[in-house]
Amino acid sequence: MLRTDTVRQILSWYEGETPGLKSNLSRLLMHGRLAGTGRVVILPVDQGFEHGPARSFAPNPAAYDPHYLYELAIESGVSGYAAPLGLLEQGADTFAGEVPLILKLNSGNSLAEGAGDQALTGTVEDALRLGCVGVGFTIYPGSDHAYAMMEELREITLQAKSRGLMTVVWSYPRGGKVSKAGETGLDIIAYAAHMAALLGATIIKVKLPTDHVDLADARATYEKNPIPTATAADRVRHIMQASFAGKRIVVFSGGAAKNTDELLDEVRGIRDGGGNGSIIGRNSFQRSKADALKLLSDVMDLYA
């Protein structure tokens, strides 16, 4: 398929980037059922690190097998598959070139109480070896380790971009001045998305915001200025505005397991607010393959 005008416009927003990076971004945007639309749906499977194997895969035991996860990504026609090193290695030969890959370079685990940090579990060289289009990295704005994580991301971004790889930044605020409700508050999510853009993210991943405004210093600004917050589409529109006036690709987390109607309602809000798409993990691979394929098809139909 020839690159569409929509994709050409998106690539034009990434000024200062290398042809290699733009080629890999184009590979992602031109792959799968949403190819050429400027929308993306990504399958992420990093929950084994975050929550443990049983909490991640017991609802659908087939997903313990890394090949199953590759097959789900390929058969569903999602734009890309993101996972830690071991999962991508176990299948990289068998499925080489069949789906764009994103190597998640850092991970936390639920055995470490309140760490507010993640360990580096992969390298840019690993991503190149596996033929990935980019690398993923989590930051926790607000945590005690936020500055160190940002400095790690700076170095990884330099390595990745110099080799033509994209950076996908999971920007998940927590700790510091951020309350628990604030972790999905509109002002906090907008701040987190903007920080990811400032750090050079090619693609920004955030949670879908609520209408809660968390910081007292921000509340007056939101009340004084015309920032609509009533609907999910309004809130997504504000996140896109905070992401360089919509000139960065922003995808929204599928979050904890939920029923199909709830998930599709969220997708409609993302679509109507101008978001670029969804990154859906537990809500897909914890279902049977037939149910997951149907769900992902319905999600992509809404975006298409």
**219-257 confidence digits (pLDDT tens):** 999 999 989 999 999 999 999 999 999 999 999 998 777
Q: How far apart are CA 289 and CA 284, in angstroms?
A: 8
Please classify residue 223 by burial: count the beta carbons closer than 10 Å to its beta carbon, then call 0-12 exposed, 13-18 middle and 19+ buried.
Answer: exposed
Chain position carrying tokens 């890999």: 24
Per-residue pLDDT, 226: 87
Please give the DSSP secondary-structure letter assigned to residue 97.
Answer: T
Tell the CATH topology of 5-303. Answer: TIM Barrel (3.20.20)
Question: What percent of the chain stands above pLDDT 90?
Answer: 95
Please give the DSSP secondary-structure letter assigned to residue 271.
Answer: H
**pLDDT beyond 80 at 115:** no
How large is the average pLDDT for residues 68-86? 98
**pLDDT beyond 90 at 77:** yes
Find out whether 154 and 11 touch, Cβ atoms under 8 Å. Answer: no
For residue 262, what pLDDT band results from cuts at 50, 70 and 90? very high
Kindly report the backbone phi and psi dihedral angles of residue 136, in degrees, each rounded to the nearest multiple of 5, phi listed first. -115, 150
Rg (CA), the chain: 18
How large is the average pLDDT for residues 95-105? 98
**pLDDT beyond 80 at 6:** yes
Kindly report the backbone phi and psi dihedral angles of residue 106, in degrees, each rounded to the nearest multiple of 5, phi listed first. -135, 155
Per-residue pLDDT, 258: 83
How far does the chain reach from its first CA to its final CA, in angstroms? 16
Q: At what angle do helices 85-92 and 66-76 cross, to 10 degrees?
A: 80
Give the global pTM: 0.97
41: nearest Cα among 89, 102, 121:
102
Per-residue pLDDT, 256: 75
Per-residue pLDDT, 114: 77
Tens of pLDDT, residue by residue over 34-47, are 999 999 999 999 99
Q: For the chain, where are the alpha helices, taking DSSP H only?
A: 5-13, 19-29, 47-51, 53-57, 66-76, 85-92, 124-129, 146-162, 186-198, 216-224, 232-242, 260-272, 282-285, 289-303
Q: Quick one: which H or E segment has residue 120?
A: strand 119-120
**Residues belonging to the active site:** 172, 205
**pLDDT beyond 90 at 153:** yes
Q: How far apart are CA 303 and CA 271, in angstroms?
A: 6
Chain position carrying tokens 């149907």: 294
How large is the average pLDDT for residues 262-280? 97
Listed range (99-103, 200-204, 223-227) with the worst mean pLDDT? 223-227
Chain position carrying tokens 């005008």: 5
